[in-house]
Amino acid sequence: MEWLFFFEVSLAGLGFGALYALTAVAFVVIYKATRVINLAMGEMLMFGAYLFFGFAAGMALPVWLALVLALLGGALLGLGLERIVIRPLLGENPISVFMVTIGLSSVLVGLVEIIWTATPRSLPDFLPSDPIFIGDAFVAPKTFWSFVIAAVVIGVFLVLFRFWRGGVALRATASDQGAAYAMGINVPAVYSLSWGLAGMLAAGAGILLGSVAGISSEMGVFGLTVLVVVIVGGLDSVLGALVAGLFIGWVESLAGVYLGGEYEHLMTFIILMVVLLLRPWGLFGTREIERL
């Protein structure tokens, strides 16, 4: 019984960890292509969830259409932010760009509260709700399906990243901008592509998160945990994002059950502190050498 319980808690943690992983991938894509640490990621995710809410509940569109529109909206948001705010700061001090993204997060929260008010809402149910059992272990259907969807999306993304022309361009730009440009890759287009992709991934993660935990204008706090995930995994490592996402989800779930809910985020930030002190470039990240 105890082991079964432990197993169930672990599954729940991994299920939620998939959402961390999905958002973390979006984070890493932006970082790889543009070297921006995007603190507005949590708010982009929130915006996507609210778009879905607006289309599905507000305008009463069918769920699949609302989903497509919300994902497109997320992508447009990413494209827009990159073009209007991030591009002009190209080559500036990374700290300025970082602070700009803090400002952006505030703008997005305000925007959502103006359009949809700050009242907390529930997303319309669209995931199947029949109970799922793996062996004897119960998995909440929402957790299960959000895990499956996140896994599929990440899988598709990895394939694109590896084989699609745009994905190759993205990786080429990440490893050497100058060389990529010389080889005829349209580097500014890659910037746009990365933000658009990330916006879409974030919107997807937001919709999944919203259907698991409800939506509110404060749900962007989720982005802070994702920040921890990418630091732990390594800012420029997709693999790191996946592993660390699942790991942090698992640890939080165990901490919440065995220590109490108040310890969940404490554990996360203690892990962050330890990683920053021992291995600041993360588990799978590239260690940068500073030159004068």
Partner 1 sequence: MRIGSPKETYAADEGLFRTRTQWAWFGILLLSLVLFPFLSNLYWLYLVCLISIHVISATGLNILTGYTGQVSLGQAAFMGVGAYTVAWLDNHAATPFVLNLLAAGGVTTVVGMVAGLPSLRVKGLYLAIATIAASFILHFVFLNWESVTGGARGMNIAPPQAFGHELANADTFYWLVMPVTVVMVLLAANLFRTRVGRAFIAIRDRDISASVLGISLPVYKLMSFAIASFYAGIAGGFYAYFFGAINPESFPLLMSIFYLAAVIVGGLGTILGSILGAVFMTLTPELLRYGVDVMEPFVDDASALLSPVRTMVFGLLIVGFLLFEPHGLAEIWRRVRRFFHLWPFRN
Partner 2 sequence: MSMKIRTSRLLFGVASGLALGGLVSGTALAQDQETTVGAGAGEEDAIVIGGSIPMTGVFAFAGLAFNEGMRDFVSWVNEEHGGVNGRKFRYVGQDTGYDVDESVGVFQRITSREDVDFYFGDSTAFSQTINSELNRRDILMTGASFASELNNPEEYPLQFLLGPDYTEQVGILLDYIADEQPGARVAFVHSDTEFGRDPIAASQERAEELGLEVVETLVTPPGASDISGATLSLRRARPDYTIFHGYVLAPIPDFIERSRQMGMETKFMGTYYSMDQTIIDEMGEAADGFMGVMPYRYYYDQEAPDTEILGAIHDMHDEYKPTMYIQAWLAGVLLREIAQETLDAGKELTGSNMRETLDSMENIDTGGIIGVPVTYRGSSIPVGRIYRADMDEGRMVPVSDWIELE
Binding string to partner 2 for residues 136 to 175, with x set by CB under 8 A, is what?
A: --x-xxxx--------------------------------
Asked if residues 37 and 100 have their Cβ atoms less than 8 Å apart, the reply is: no
Single-letter amino acid code for the residue at 38: N
Of 59 and 90, the one with the shorter C-beta distance to partner 1 is 90
Supply angle C-alpha 181, 282, 106, rounded to 5.
75
91: region left, alpha or beta (phi > 0 left; psi from -120 to 50 alpha): left
Residue range at the interface with partner 2 (CB under 8 A); choices 12-20, 22-30, 75-83, 186-194: 12-20
Q: Is 117 in the site for partner 2 (CB under 8 A)?
A: yes
Residue 263 belongs to what H/E stretch? none
Taking the complex as a whole, the smallest distance from the CB of residue 255 to partner 2 amounts, in Å, to: 9
Residue range at the interface with partner 2 (CB under 8 A); choices 9-17, 164-172, 180-188, 269-277: 9-17
Tokens 């165990």 appear where? 254
In the three-class reduction of DSSP (H, G, I as helix; E, B as strand; rest coil), residue 279 is classed as: coil
Strand ranges for 5-135 from DSSP E: 132-134
Q: Is 103 in the site for partner 2 (CB under 8 A)?
A: no
Q: Is 237 in the site for partner 2 (CB under 8 A)?
A: no
Q: Is 214 in the site for partner 2 (CB under 8 A)?
A: yes
What spatial distance separates the first Cα and last Cα of the chain, rounded to whole Å? 59
Residue 192 tokens read as 């746009």
In the three-class reduction of DSSP (H, G, I as helix; E, B as strand; rest coil), residue 126 is classed as: coil
Taking the complex as a whole, the smallest distance from the CB of residue 274 to partner 1 amounts, in Å, to: 10
Give the C-alpha separation, 54 to 25, whole Å: 25
Residues found in the chain: 292
Of 166 and 188, the one with the shorter C-beta distance to partner 1 is 188
Site for partner 2 in 13-42 (CB under 8 A): 13, 15-16
Burial of 180: CB neighbours in 10 Å, binned 0-12, 13-18, 19+: buried
Of 217 and 253, the one with the shorter C-beta distance to partner 1 is 217
Q: Choose the contact partner of 95 out of partner 1, partner 2, none; CB within 5 to 8 A by kind.
A: partner 1
Taking the complex as a whole, the smallest distance from the CB of residue 213 to partner 1 amounts, in Å, to: 19
Q: Is 217 in the site for partner 2 (CB under 8 A)?
A: yes
Q: Choose the contact partner of 209 out of partner 1, partner 2, none; CB within 5 to 8 A by kind.
A: partner 2
Tokens 């949590």 appear where? 42
Residue 206 belongs to what H/E stretch? helix 187-213
| Binding footprint of partner 1 on the chain (CB under 8 A) | 37, 85, 88-89, 94-96, 98-100, 102-114, 117-118, 224, 227-228, 231, 262, 265-266, 269-270, 272-273, 276-277, 280, 290, 292
Q: Choose the contact partner of 148 out of partner 2, partner 1, none; CB within 5 to 8 A by kind.
A: none
Least Cα distance to 41 among 33, 30, 52, 51 occurs for 30
Within 10 angstroms of residue 281's Cβ, the number of other Cβ atoms is 17
Give the footprint of partner 2 on this chain (CB under 8 A).
5, 8-9, 12-13, 15-16, 113, 117-122, 129, 131, 138, 140-143, 209-210, 212-219, 221-222, 249, 252-254, 256-257, 260-262, 264-265
